[in-house]
Amino acid sequence: MAMSAPSERLIERALALIVEGEVAPGEAAQRARMALSQWRNRSPQHAAALLEARHRWDALGGMADDLRAHFDTPAAGMAAAAAAATSARAPQRRKLLLSIAGLVAGGLVAGRGVQWYWQQPVFHSAYSTRTAQMLKVTLPDGIGDASGSQLDIAPQSAIEVTLYRQRRIVEMARGEVRFEVAHDKQRPFLVHTRGAIIEVVGTVFTVRDRGGPITVGVEQGHVRVQVQAARQHGETPTVQVVDLRAGELVEVQDGHADTVRQADARALSAWRDGWLVFDNTPLGDALAVVNSYRTRPIVSADARIDALRLSGRFRTNDSVGLVEVLPTILPVTTVPRPDGSVELQAR
């Protein structure tokens, strides 16, 4: 005759012993494991309850490491104080362990406990660059011996990187970053900008945000750009989704993605090799890029000048040469200012 399913009461008891055996310090954990072994042998119902408890605990995916920190004993150098403290807090620790076990038994795998666990970051760091400074970063998100994601950060850029167990997120405040993302289909890689979210699994792409349109260009692989349209009063926000593949580029501005176009996406990150490449780029947007390499900016107070289109390839360390050549290719004159900056005026 088939044995009935173990009661929740027995499962909770097994879980209490499992949790204490996993996360309690020293001898307390050893005693819990011995007690669990003896408890399991009492009856087939106990053995079945332990099997179910193990399934639930294993589903937490290693939560013991995070919980253990709550029960670590003080250093050996304070043995007397530690003994007193341990004795004083033993009931509280036991109560907390039982509470955790009760949560697991009561559906923690599908509830807030697991949600908390997966929401805890395993890595967080902020990166910023100064004028004319570039930075190369390798993230600790590689699988096995594989290298982690490579980030090339352009001058005057600021980002924050947070790695979780199920996702990887970059918050991009400003600037330009080339991403070479380590492949991990279990942890999508998301780049959050002020106007779009870029999602990838493993690819090479560049994001530029210098205050004008946000530009995304893909060198390898496939990225998905999600743009939330600006919401009018009382309207439900809509999301525009754009898929980009190798050799494609899109610009996002004012809550809208322009038409995807074919382009040399590598030109977006040519600054890595000391070049700035512009292809029919509004001069105002181009100057925002150029000025990230200049301590004294090139400025314009005329919207007509900002709207002029610039094409060409220029050295990142020769903005003086750019200032000299601009009047030969565009209807502008350059006027040096006492502070070292340069003003563009219509000719």
Please check whether residues 127 and 91 belong to one and the same domain. Answer: no
Is 159 among the domain residues?
yes
Residue 158 β-bridge partners: 128, 174
| CA pair distance 270, 274, nearest whole angstrom | 7
Q: What residue numbers bound the domain in which 322 lies? A: 274-346
What is the residue-averaged pLDDT of the chain? 82
Alpha carbon distance, N-terminus to C-terminus of the chain = 97
Give the torsion sign (CA, 199, 205, 208, 213): negative
Q: How many residues does the chain have?
A: 347
Domain CATH number, residue 136: 2.60.120.1440
Regarding predicted confidence, which is higher, 21 or 211? 211
**The pair of three-digit structure tokens given for residue 255, joined into one six-digit string:** 């809550």
Single-letter residue type at 297? P
CB 347 within 8 A of CB 333: yes
Is 187 among the domain residues?
yes
Number of folded domains that form the chain = 3
pLDDT in tens, 167-184: 999 999 999 999 999 999
Give pLDDT, residue 202: 76
- Predicted confidence (pLDDT) at residue 118 exceeds the cutoff of 50: yes
Is 2 among the domain residues?
no
Please check whether residues 79 and 133 belong to one and the same domain. Answer: no
pLDDT in tens, 235-272: 666 889 999 999 999 999 988 999 999 998 899 999 99
Please check whether residues 169 and 241 belong to one and the same domain. Answer: yes
pTM: 0.68
| CA pair distance 127, 29, nearest whole angstrom | 41
Please check whether residues 258 and 285 belong to one and the same domain. Answer: no
**The pair of three-digit structure tokens given for residue 248, joined into one six-digit string:** 């494609």
> How many CA atoms, within 13 angstroms, populate the side-chain half-sphere of residue 324?
5
Domain end: 267, 295, 320, which one?
Answer: 267
Give pLDDT, residue 254: 87
**E strand or H helix at 34, and its extent?**
helix 26-40
pLDDT in tens, 138-155: 999 998 888 999 999 999
